[in-house]
Amino acid sequence: MSPDSPIHFEFLPSEDPAARGDGWGSGMLYVLGAPYWYSNSDIQPRPIDWTWVDLLEHVASNWGTLVYEQSYPFSWLSDVTHPGDVWNVAERRWARLDDEIAEAEEGVLLAFERRHNLASAWKGLSLPSLTLIRNGAICWVCADGRPPIRAPFEQCRTALLSICDTLAKSFAESSNPRVSSAVSRWHDRGVSSRDAFFRSVTGMSDNVLAAVQGDEDPFKFWGVAANDSWANGIVAEGPLLAAARMTAGILDTATIRRVLDAIRGVAKGELDALDGISAKARRHLQKAPAQFAFSSGYAAAEFVREALHRDRSIRFEIEAVFAELGVAVLPMHLGTESIDAVAVWGGRGPSVILNLDRQHTSPERTRMTLAHELGHLMLDRAGGLPFCEVLGGAVDDFMERRANAFAAELLLPRIVVEQARTTFKGPIGDFIATLKHDFGVSKSVACAQVYNSRVFPRLDRREQLFVESRLQLMDEIGSRHAIKVQPVGDVM
Please report the pLDDT score of residue 3 as a whole number. 53
pTM value? Answer: 0.87
pLDDT in the model for residue 315: 95
Residues contacting residue 378 through CB under 8 Å, at least 6 positions apart: 274, 277, 278, 281, 282, 300, 304, 406
52-91 pLDDT tens trace: 999 999 999 999 999 999 989 998 887 788 888 999 999 9
| Burial class (CB within 10 angstroms; exposed 0-12, middle 13-18, buried 19+) of 111 | exposed
Which residues does residue 51 pair with via DSSP β-bridges, in sequence order?
24
3 state SS of 301:
helix
- The angle at the Cα of 458, spanning 453 to 463, to the nearest 5 degrees, equals 95
- 181-231 pLDDT per residue, tens: 999 999 999 988 888 899 999 999 999 999 999 989 999 999 887 666 888
Contact 37, 127 (CB under 8 A): yes
Residues of the chain with pLDDT under 50: 1, 473-483, 490-492
CA dist 114 to 16, 137, 209, 406, 463, Å? Answer: 32, 22, 24, 35, 48
Give the integer Cα–Cα distance in Å for 335 and 365. Answer: 19
* Residue type present at position 114: R
Provide CB contacts within 8 A for 306, sequence distance 6+: none
Task: Output the pLDDT for position 492.
Answer: 44
Q: List helix spans (H) across 265-413.
A: 272-287, 293-307, 318-324, 363-379, 397-411
Kind plus residue range of the DSSP H or E element containing 13: strand 7-13
pLDDT of res. 152: 93
Q: How far apart are CA 79 and CA 117, in angstroms?
A: 20
Query: HSE-up of 426 (CA within 13 Å, CB side)?
Result: 8
The structural domains of the chain, with segments of one domain joined by +, span: 7-190, 202-264, 266-492
- Phi then psi for residue 56, to 5 deg, are -60, -45
**Exposed / middle / buried, residue 406 (Cβ in 10 Å: 0-12, 13-18, 19+):** buried
Task: Tell me what pLDDT residue 489 has.
Answer: 55
Q: How far, in whole angstroms, is CA 115 from its chain's centroid?
A: 18
